[in-house]
Amino acid sequence: MKLSMWEDFKRMALSGSPDRSLKVLVALIVDSPWLPGFVGISTFDYFLLSDQWIKANLSVEERFPEVVFLPGHWLEYGMGAEPSAFGCRIKWWKNSPPSVIPVMNSISEGSKLKVPDPEEDGLMPLILHLYPKMEKSLQHQGSHIKMVAARGPFAIGAHVRGLTELMLDLKIAPKETKQFLEIMTQTTLRWLEAQIHHLSEVEGILVLDDVIGFLSPSDYMEFAHPCLKEIFSSFKGMVKVYHNDSKIGHILEPLAETGLQVLNFGYHLDMNQVWQRVGDKIRLMGNIPTIEVLAEGTPEEVKMYAAECIRKTDGGRGLILSAGGGAPPGVPAENIDALVEASRLARKEE
């Protein structure tokens, strides 16, 4: 991304408390579900042709110069990178991200698992090989990779074990499940660290884990909270963004204590309630309905929802306008323009 945009985002993320000196930003989490279709290429070409990947990423950056795209120039194969290191079968599709097939039949098999080596296992070595080459090409064109991303321990675990099976394991075999989740946590850490090592300018991390929202408050505190604290405490001085667009209203306060600095949350949570509860501790990124409004709505509807988000945060204090989740397939350019226009109007009214 452009350095000026990254500096604005970093300043917002690291601000101790929201105030009106921090302008309302627009940021979107974008990856293979949206980007290839938006620029008119197949998902295969986006994954496999380096020149097409670079062209796609730079074109949206140039088309939307006032939008921070996160993590920014993301080399990913859908959700396949981390689960592939555990032997999960990856099912590929020409015009959508790949599917991941769980590999474990029982949580007892977790005792045989080892934390994968990102330099050797699954799809991760391919990404690490490509990243420095892509970074150099991007730098020559005035753009930079400032953030890396990884799935969180429950997201990886759900792909390796199966979502329903993992939820049952929490109750049936809690001890074995904790051991399994510690391996997943170390996988997240090692994958982030490996990407940082192979790149030259990283100043932030993005962790994505929707599965944690399915837990009760007590299960969250017992199984998930220690994992998130371990991850976010391991990257001191970096910008730490957490994406979870499942229903997390029941765990907002403890989530804000994990060390994350920016929370991208779902549109089904009321912006004002989230802002009142944790807006003094973390910056909020959201929360336009992803499909019904951002992808399928009109620009006027997008601006209306964006204006509501701004109003509910006292004029946009500590707010990063975004989708209530990642950018879904089919988001048109004019709806992103509408988000930018809403942020401009907020700045004029200050």
Write out the two tokens for 58. Answer: 């730079």
Write out the two tokens for 114. Answer: 């080892």
Give the per-residue pLDDT at 346: 79
Where b means 16+ CB within 10 Å and e means fewer, 70-90 reads: bbbbbbbbbbbbbbbbbebeb
Compute the radius of gyration of the chain from its Cα atoms.
Answer: 19
Helices (H) and strands (E) in the chain, counts: 15, 10
Instruction: Identify whether the C-beta of residue 205 lies closer than 8 Å to the C-beta of residue 148.
Output: yes
- Report d(CA 80, CA 66) in Å as an integer: 30
Please give the C-alpha separations between residue 149 and each of 165, 190, 203, 320, 338, in angstroms, as whole numbers: 26, 11, 12, 19, 27
Please give the C-alpha separations between residue 292 and each of 195, 304, 343, in angstroms, as whole numbers: 35, 13, 20
Cβ atoms within 10 A of the Cβ of 261, count? 20
The three-class DSSP label of residue 207 is strand
Quote the pTM value: 0.96
Give the per-residue pLDDT at 19: 58
Give the per-residue pLDDT at 297: 97
Rounded to the nearest 5 percent, the helix, strand and coil shares of the chain are 50, 15, 35
Instruction: Identify whether the C-beta of residue 149 lies closer than 8 Å to the C-beta of residue 76.
Output: yes
pLDDT bin (cut points 50, 70, 90) of residue 241 is: very high
What's the average model confidence in pLDDT over 74-99?
96
Provide CATH code, domain 3-348. 3.20.20.210
pLDDT bin (cut points 50, 70, 90) of residue 348 is: low
**More confident position, 76 or 318:** 76
* Mean pLDDT score across all residues of the chain: 95
For the chain, the domains span: 3-348
Question: Is the pLDDT confidence value at 322 over 80?
Answer: yes
Give the per-residue pLDDT at 186: 98
pLDDT (tens digit, 9 = 90+) per residue, 8-52?
999 999 986 665 566 789 999 999 999 999 999 999 999 999 999
Give the per-residue pLDDT at 345: 83
pLDDT (tens digit, 9 = 90+) per residue, 169-199?
999 999 999 999 999 999 999 999 999 999 9
pLDDT (tens digit, 9 = 90+) per residue, 248-296?
999 999 999 999 999 999 999 999 999 999 999 999 999 999 999 999 9
Q: Where are the alpha helices (DSSP H) in the chain?
A: 3-14, 35-39, 43-48, 50-63, 81-84, 124-140, 153-161, 163-172, 174-198, 217-219, 225-232, 252-256, 271-278, 299-311, 333-348
pLDDT (tens digit, 9 = 90+) per residue, 119-168?
999 999 999 999 999 999 999 999 999 999 999 999 999 999 999 999 99
What are the beta bridge partners of residue 26?
A: 67, 321
